[in-house]
Amino acid sequence: MRRLRHGVVLLPEHRWETARQHWVRAEELGFDHAWTYDHLMWRWLRDRPWFGAVPTLAAAAAATTRITLGTLVATPAYRHPVPFAKEIVTLDDIAGGRLVCGLGAGAGGHDEEVLGTRPPTPAERADRFAEFVHLTDLLLTQPTTSFSGTYFNCRDAALNAGFVQRPRVPLAVAATGPRGLPLAARHADVWITAGRPGWGEPLPYEEALPQLARQVDAVEAACAAVGRDPATLRRLVVTGAMISGVSASADAYVDACGRFAELGFTDVVLHWPRPDFPYQGRPEVLEEIAGAVLKPEGRG
């Protein structure tokens, strides 16, 4: 089981006095990585507190020492690659090289409406995301970047703070379709899927396996098309939204992880249990899962 890496998503909904305890506990339990959502406001919790991803990750980096941290996922809905890349470099410095930059196309809603611009069409969203990923990669790789695109431009952008991780902060790209998968194949260190796209009824993990298998085949084909060895791309599955049942019990988690590993996944992510919808669950089960599959900090 240790050939898999295990992660947890912590929604940025708590004041730091409480949130800090969760991030520290995630590290103590032995999770390999911990993530937070990057939204201005989130669909199901719009009437509740919701804090910024970048400050949250900076605070989590200062409160922890081992666990890898990441955005799940940042989108071009309200972000420009130049200031965002500067924030990523700064976060990686605070974390001592423990950051993963997760990127996604966005799914519409408040983040794309709050600035008063016209929401993009699906084709425009895909084009914008391709440009966002490409320019972010350039900014994190090159000493100085100039770029002229349809959605983003920059002139002599230099991230003079320097980089902790070389050649750059790892990129994790969320993708499932014919436009996104080639982006992951070209730019990503980690490919992210949450199963079936959208926000419909989740599938029990046993029923989601055939679709996940098809997605793995598709991302491997995309790697082959650009001349990349598919084995160099980590594959991360996010559970709890469109894939259900994984964190119902420690036994269910162990079973699901075995099935995901058989499909070629290298990383499995679940959500920190909440008292109500969404991601409702009991913290005791998370502790049991950690005891079953994770190596607590400081042991072995």
pLDDT in tens, the chain (300 residues): 447 999 999 999 999 999 999 999 999 999 999 999 999 988 888 889 999 999 999 999 999 999 999 999 999 999 999 999 999 999 999 999 999 999 999 887 888 888 888 889 999 999 999 999 999 999 999 999 999 999 999 999 998 777 899 899 999 999 999 999 999 999 999 999 999 887 778 999 999 999 999 999 999 999 999 999 999 999 999 999 999 999 999 999 999 999 999 999 999 999 999 999 999 999 999 999 999 998 665 333
Provide the sign of the torsion angle of the four alpha carbons 160, 128, 238, 35, taken in this order.
positive
Dihedral sign (CA 124, 127, 130, 136): negative
- Delineate the domains of the chain, giving CATH numbers in brackets: 5-293 (3.20.20.30)
